[in-house]
């Protein structure tokens, strides 16, 4: 089962968000606190897609507001986007985690979660109609571009986007996930961040 039966026809973002709040299309809804829908400029030229909400996002109900989100916001601004220029969302809308004592440890979503949740991100892309879809990391790549692409090999170049919600002129760009940068060893992190900013600057220049 996937979320497609829950999606209202011709839905705008507020309608999609309230429908997604009731989604039970995969088992991730149950242990998580809430659906974390996308947020940002509903007419953004650039739509960024991450993996899934983290611990902080799960509690606050807003994407990219935890540590990885702060890093992403800084990189987006440094790349040349003005405040409120972009729309951000995730390939999977519920936090997948494992309990260890009281700690909730992030777990990567499985292919069935990505598949179940795909109609939501497709509907967001169709509603926002961005010129460029940015895939942050491997889960977004799997959800939107398929398994032939690899983040390390294919990042940083604009390409045609033909995935869910695409229009004829839509393009895509793959870059590193901000959480991957946070996990890098100290001596690699600065370069990882610079790479993210450089990739986002390619996108900013293309829509300027």
* Interacting residue ranges for ligand SF4, rule: CB under 6 A: 3, 20, 23-26, 28-29, 35, 92-94, 113, 116-117, 120
Q: Which is nearer to ligand URA, 90 or 175 (CB)?
A: 90
Which parts of 166-195 interact with ligand URA (CB under 6 A)? 179
The tokens 């002129």 sit on which residue? 169
- Position with the least CB separation from ligand URA: 50
Sign of the CA dihedral with 175 first, then 65, 85, and 132 last: positive
**Four-point Cα dihedral 202, 176, 123, 79, nearest 10:** -30
C-alpha–C-alpha distance, residues 152 and 131, integer Å: 23
Pick what 20 binds: ligand URA, ligand SF4, none; C-beta below 5 to 8 Å, kind-dependent: ligand SF4
Which parts of 40-59 interact with ligand URA (CB under 6 A)? 50-54, 57
Q: Which is nearer to ligand URA, 68 or 173 (CB)?
A: 68
C-alpha R_g of the chain: 16
C-alpha–C-alpha distance, residues 144 and 29, integer Å: 21
Which DSSP letter does residue 172 get? E
The correct pick among 90, 118, 170, 175 for binding ligand URA (CB under 6 A) is 90
Binding stretches for ligand URA (CB under 6 A):
50-54, 57, 63-64, 66, 68-69, 90, 179
């Amino acid at each position: 089962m996937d979320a497609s039966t829950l999606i209202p026809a011709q839905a705008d973002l507020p309608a999609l968000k309230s429908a997604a709040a009731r989604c039970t299309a995969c088992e991730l809804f149950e242990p998580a606190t809430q659906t974390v829908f996308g947020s940002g400029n509903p007419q953004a030229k650039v739509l960024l897609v991450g993996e899934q909400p983290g611990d902080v996002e799960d509690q606050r109900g807003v994407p990219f507001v935890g540590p990885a989100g702060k890093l992403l916001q800084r990189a987006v601004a440094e790349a040349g986007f003005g405040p409120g220029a972009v729309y951000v969302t995730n390939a999977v809308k519920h936090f997948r985690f494992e309990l260890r004592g009281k700690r909730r440890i992030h777990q990567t979503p499985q292919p069935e979660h990505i598949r179940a949740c795909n109609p939501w991100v497709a509907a967001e892309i169709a509603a926002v109609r961005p010129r460029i879809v940015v895939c942050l990391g491997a889960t977004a790549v799997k959800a939107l571009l398929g398994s032939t692409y690899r983040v390390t090999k294919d990042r940083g170049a604009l390409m045609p986007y033909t995935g869910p919600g695409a229009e004829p002129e839509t393009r895509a760009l793959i870059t590193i996930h901000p959480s991957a940068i946070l996990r890098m060893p100290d001596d690699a992190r600065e370069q990882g961040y610079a790479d993210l900013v450089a990739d986002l600057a390619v996108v900013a220049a293309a829509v300027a």
